[in-house]
């Protein structure tokens, strides 16, 4: 019996500590993780052909914010089947509304969620999108 290939996840967050922590958490759970600390690097990766199953992005980032990254990915139809989840400390209704408008699949507030909950929430959102 062959194992299904690992799901690829693209993590985009400018907080190095959180980036490393989530990369480790998802890596230990069998994901193939690409962790990038800028939206520019994230956009370049997908433009260059990296096709993750899941994108987890922070909103507040230097330069282009996470929602602008999502807008560019959607507009350019770079990875139409990827599940996109915002992982952010922004819990304002404006940010949530902007995310919904862009067709984001999930929204997780970092401050109120421990890493194991983030992992299970991401898996739940992914499963519901793929079923």
For position 109, which CATH number holds?
A: 3.40.50.2300
Given a cut of 60, whether residue 29 has pLDDT beyond it is: yes
Residue at 2 is within a domain:
no
Domain count, the chain: 1
| pTM across the whole model | 0.92
**Is 117 within a domain?**
yes
Burial category of 55 from C-beta neighbours within 10 Å (exposed 0-12, middle 13-18, buried 19 and up): buried
Please state, for a pLDDT cut of 90, what percent of the chain lies above it.
82
Q: Is residue 66 a contact partner of residue 59, using CB atoms and an 8 Å limit?
A: yes
The model's confidence at residue 2, banded by pLDDT at 50, 70 and 90, is low
- Whether residue 60 lies inside any domain: the answer is yes
pLDDT in tens, 40-97: 999 999 999 999 999 999 999 999 999 999 999 999 999 999 999 999 998 889 989 9
Structural domain contains residue 3: no
Residue 78 sits in which domain range? Answer: 8-130
The answer to whether residue 1 is domain-embedded is: no
The C-alpha R_g of the chain, in whole angstroms, comes to: 14
């Amino acid at each position: 019996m062959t194992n299904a290939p690992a799901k690829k996840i693209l993590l985009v967050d400018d907080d190095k500590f959180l980036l490393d922590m989530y990369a480790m958490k998802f890596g230990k759970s069998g994901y193939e993780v690409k962790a990038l600390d800028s939206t520019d690097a994230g956009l370049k990766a997908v433009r260059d052909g990296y096709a993750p199953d899941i994108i987890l992005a922070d909103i507040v980032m230097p330069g282009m914010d996470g929602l602008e990254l999502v807008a560019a990915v959607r507009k350019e139809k770079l990875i139409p089947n990827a599940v996109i989840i915002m992982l952010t400390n922004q819990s304002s209704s404006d940010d949530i509304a902007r995310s919904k408008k862009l067709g984001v699949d999930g929204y997780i507030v970092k401050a109120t969620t421990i890493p194991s909950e983030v992992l299970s929430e991401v898996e739940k959102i992914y499963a519901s999108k793929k079923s």
